[in-house]
Amino acid sequence: MSSDPLLQVLRHKARFSDQELADLLSLTPEAVASQIAGWEKDGTILGYHAVVDTEQSGDTSVSAFIEVKVTPERGGGFDRLALRISRFDQVVSCYLASGGYDLMVVVDGADLREVALFVSEKLSTLDGVISTATHFRLKTYKENGFLFEKNTSAERLAVSP
């Protein structure tokens, strides 16, 4: 995480006005607007998005987390193949990961079949892809710092001996 307080605040809530950010961080609105414009220009801030509760919105699409084992390329490591995978329209996110696999790929599709076809026809057929393991998202509890809870009262779990 960045040590810049303005960037930290923006990562958690990007809909503050320049005035609200200035008041919060003891800056001028002009300084805030200038810094944000600079970050947008240099690629530090790549974009903005809303965190949407798909159950509330009626969205019936599916998301899958795909563990991908790959053969690293000489001189390029995992980067070339990861970037190639990232360019598919179905891919929402792609991360290099530690552990039993190399890449964690997040994919969205209209239904299970669409994701399955993507994995079998596009992802697994790429040179360098050794294996995949697909896990479908069943329910979201928290995303990008936002809790997806209907009941706002604090609930305590029962303690048993």
Does the pLDDT of residue 151 top 90, yes or no? Answer: no
pLDDT, averaged across the chain: 90
Q: Average pLDDT in the 137-142 region?
A: 94
Contacts 24+ apart (CB under 8 A), 100-103: 100/67, 100/69, 101/67, 101/68, 101/69, 101/133, 102/68, 102/69, 102/70, 102/72, 102/78, 103/67, 103/68, 103/70, 103/78
pLDDT number for residue 128: 95
> Could you tell me the pTM of the whole model?
0.79
Flag whether pLDDT at 157 surpasses 90: no
Structural contact between residues 62 and 136, judged by C-beta atoms closer than 8 angstroms: yes
Question: Which has more confidence, 58 or 121?
Answer: 121
Give the β-pairing of 62-70 and 103-109: antiparallel
For the chain, domains (ranges, CATH) are 5-42 (no CATH), 54-139 (3.30.70.920)
- 55-113 pLDDT, tens digit per residue, is 888 889 999 999 999 999 888 889 999 999 999 999 999 999 999 999 999 999 999 99
